Amino acid sequence: MDPSMFVTYTPQTNVVPLESKLATYMNRQSPSTTLNANIVSKHLSNLSLDSNKKTTASTEFVPGRSITGSTSSSPNLFGNSYHSQENVGGTTYFYLGNATGDSIVNDEVNEISNVGSSQVGYVYPGTSAHLQSTKPTKTPTSNSSSAPSTPPPQVNSSFFMSANLRMDILHKNSLTLSQPDSVQFPDLPTEVDNYHELCPLEQIHKPASTVLGYQTSTYKATSIKNGVRYCLRRIHDFRLGNTKCMILVDMWKRISHTNVVQLLEVFTTKAFGDHSMVFVYDYHPGAETLLSKHFSGTELNGYADPFCSDPNAPRPYSHTKTTILRQQHNSMLPENVIWSYIIQLTAALRVIHAGGVAYRCLDPTKVLLTSRTRLRLSCAAVPDVVTFDGNATNPLSLILHYQQEDLISLGKLVLALACRSLLAVHRDNMQSSLELVARTYSTDLRNFILYLLSDQARKTVTDLMPMIGARFYTQLDTVQLRNDVLENELAKELENGRLFRLLVKLATVNERPELNMELTWAETGDRYMLKLFRDYVFHQVTADDRPWLDMAHVVSCLNKLDAGSADKICLMSRDEQSVLVVSYAELRQCLENSFDEIMQSAKEAA
Ligand SMILES: Nc1ncnc2c1ncn2[C@@H]1O[C@H](COP(=O)(O)OP(=O)(O)OP(=O)(O)O)[C@@H](O)[C@H]1O
């Protein structure tokens, strides 16, 4: 640092200029120290007085850690400090000394090395080697003529959560927080049992569900008891004839799996103006059905389903089914996606069947995609309740039969996904569909479908496991890699949260107009140090007085403050008359004291 850069010449006085606000801070300290020339020169050598430096930038000012033998820089400034000071070219440098000699020096050295090692964990070290290949590559913009200190874009993004994940989470949050629209849905009740804030997730008045046989509607709602959002599925105009079916509901409630939408409770209500039955599930914001994801028009390149018999449906120039099927190849799902779905669907059916129940509605409208490739079965227990035969002596008697039907439905669903057509599973189209699968995918996939659709006497999910075989490992690998990526994203934001809390404290103290009727509170004592520190972190300028912006400098300073590092920095008063050499440990103490004072005052007022 070149002091002449910042300081106008004044005769050497070796005292704090009275007009300097630093005086208010220094006056609190014990003045009983004599200036030791050795200490001062040692400190100065650590201040790297490089006359070529043109900015008040950060790390150049930080004294090195090799201050062994120095009797200065006690981290415990406010307990027992001695000060030394020196005037260099009109600027007064203040040092923090310690009267207790060499034993303290050793302690300090230990402390520095301890701080150094513990501090390391506070810094996000960048994406680790095993995730380098998964990082989205960003080409730097060619016209990046910004200030030299502006970090290149790829560096910037690598220290924050990826934009895609961020958008994904923001989208889910906004859906979760959405509020009821009483103008658009004036007839919705404000409260249904223990739930309020009902927001429809689909059209309310739609025809009866072909899968469930009843008119249904689905809502996001907030629990009055705990404020958590849930998904309510209402069966319109339904009276529960027999409560024996609650045995099945209880069995479903006990089933918990990452591929099943959790059922929480079932109740009847008249809140909608009819006798409705309501099933309460976990709410998964942004959930999309397999139907809309893979069987909608836009997903099929705008062409009609090749199995569609409607002559008016839009088709490409050739009208033959074979040509369309060939066209269809372009929009076929990759085989690994189909296997991933198979593994998740069979995993869900495995626990459902092991739990003594059957799903009974394995249909593209009931399988939800709750993130990019995560499937969850929705509507658990609804078929059991709405089709319950009150005259049956044993409500569980047909379960085995229904479980077999689940496996046939699985075969149909996989065939439909492989052909990207719901009509592919129609009896008349079955042959062409299987030929399409044989042409496009592996024999394993075809055999898997054939097995499920065969007349085999008794099938179980366990039989399917050898057919999936080593693909389990591929799935496991994908999930583990995703887990690694998410953990890396978390590591970035974890530190941001910590720094945010620190910034909140700093901002609460800095520039506070008054505290306890004291108008100059923020401008004196510890708070004055924090004000200078704030200038040091955020308000640096280049030699020609342009703002000097460097995120790394800000993050590094805040991290050291949070860790209470023994590293020292020079804080300069705004009048440029005084420079204070202070450690982050001391600054942290200033911050803790000041913030505690504010908290205390807030409590007293309360
Ligand atoms: N647990 C849930 N969390 C979030 N959204 C859900 C949940 N369950 C269902 N949904 C959403 O509610 C909407 C309606 O689901 P539903 O099962 O009624 O589909 P559908 O295509 O209307 O079927 P149907 O014709 O049988 O009524 C879908 O968009 C689905 O994504």
Q: What is the CATH number of the domain that holds 539?
A: 1.10.287.3700
Please tell me the distance between residue 393's alpha carbon and the centre of ligand 1 in angstroms.
33
User: Using CA positions, which residue lies closest to atom 23 of ligand 1?
Assistant: 365
Q: What is the pLDDT of residue 352?
A: 98
| Spacing, Cα 368 to ligand 1 middle (Å) | 8
Residue of higher predicted confidence among 329 and 77: 329
Indicate whether 493 pLDDT > 70: yes
pLDDT in tens, 339-360: 999 999 999 999 999 999 999 9
Is 233 flagged in the annotation as binding? Answer: yes
Residue 68 banded pLDDT, cuts 50, 70, 90: very low
222 CA distance to ligand 1 middle (Å): 17
Phi, psi of 565 (to 5 degrees): -60, 150
Q: Which of 215, 264, 368, 379 to mutate to test the pocket of ligand 1 (most atoms within 8 A of CB)?
A: 368
| Three-state DSSP state, 386 | helix
Is residue 605 within a helix (H) or strand (E), and if so which, with residue range?
helix 584-605
Distance 231 CA to ligand 1 centre (A): 9
Please report whether residue 569 resides in a domain: yes
| ipTM (interface predicted TM) | 0.97
The Cβ of residue 541 has, within 10 Å, a number of other Cβ atoms equal to 13
Q: Which pair of tokens denotes residue 162?
A: 């990826």
The values of phi and psi at residue 7, to 5°, are -115, 130
Best residue among 198, 378, 379 to mutate for probing ligand 1, ranked by most atoms within 8 Å of CB: 378
Ligand 1 atom closest to Cα of residue 206: 27
- State yes or no: 37 annotated in a binding site: no
* Within a domain: 452: no
Centroid of ligand 1 to alpha carbon of 334 (angstroms): 25
Q: How far apart are CA 459 and CA 226, in angstroms?
A: 43
For the beta carbon of residue 572, count every other beta carbon within 10 angstroms: 21
Give how many domains the chain has, as a whole number.
Answer: 1
Q: What is the pLDDT of residues 458-482, one digit of tens each?
A: 899 999 999 999 999 999 999 999 9
355 is in an annotated binding site: no
Nearest CA to ligand 1 atom 20: 365
Nearest atom (ligand 1) to Cα of 201: 12
321 annotated among ligand-binding-site residues? no
pLDDT class for 60, splitting at 50, 70, 90? very low
Is 335 annotated in some ligand binding site?
Answer: no
75 within some domain: yes
Report which protein residue has its CA nearest ligand 1's atom 2: 283
Q: Is 489 annotated as a binding residue?
A: no
Q: Based on the number of CB atoms within 10 Å of its own CB, is 330 exposed (0-12), middle (13-18) or buried (19 or more)?
A: exposed
> Ligand 1 centroid vs 216 CA: distance in angstroms?
9
- At 46, list the tokens: 């650590």
Least confident of 41-55, 414-428, 440-454, 534-548: 41-55
Is 82 a domain residue? Answer: yes
d(CA 572, CA 545): 16
Considering the domain boundaries, does residue 566 fall inside one?
Answer: yes
Mean pLDDT, the chain, as a whole number? 77
Residue 196, annotated as binding a ligand: no
Q: Please indicate, yes or no, if residue 406 is contained in any of the structural domains.
A: no
pLDDT in tens, 127-178: 778 887 776 544 444 443 333 444 444 444 566 788 999 999 999 999 999 9
In a domain, 464, yes or no: no
Distance 451 CA to ligand 1 centre (A): 30
pLDDT digits over 426-437, tens only?
A: 989 999 999 999
Amino acid at 310: D
Residues paired with 235 in a beta bridge? 216, 277
Tokens of 573: 């008063």
For the whole model, what pTM was predicted?
0.71
Dist CA 80 CA 567 (whole Å): 19
pLDDT digits (tens, 9 = 90+) for 496-525: 888 899 999 999 999 898 888 888 888 888
Residue 545: give the domain boundaries. Answer: 3-122+491-605
Residues with CB under 6 A from ligand 1: 201-202, 209, 211-212, 216, 218, 231, 261, 281-284, 287-289, 291, 365-366, 368, 378-379
Residue 233, strand partner residues: 218, 279
Is residue 163, in this structure, part of any structural domain at all? no
Q: pLDDT band at residue 453, thresholds of 50, 70 and 90?
A: very high
> Which is more confidently placed, 360 or 41?
360
Length of the chain equals 606
Ligand 1 atom with the smallest distance to the CA of 217 is: 18
Within 358-509, strands assigned E span 367-369, 375-377
The answer to the question of whether 284 is labelled as a binding residue is yes
Residue with tokens 């000012």: 61
Report d(CA 359, CA 404) in Å as an integer.
10
Q: How far is the CA of 378 from the centre of ligand 1 (A)?
A: 8
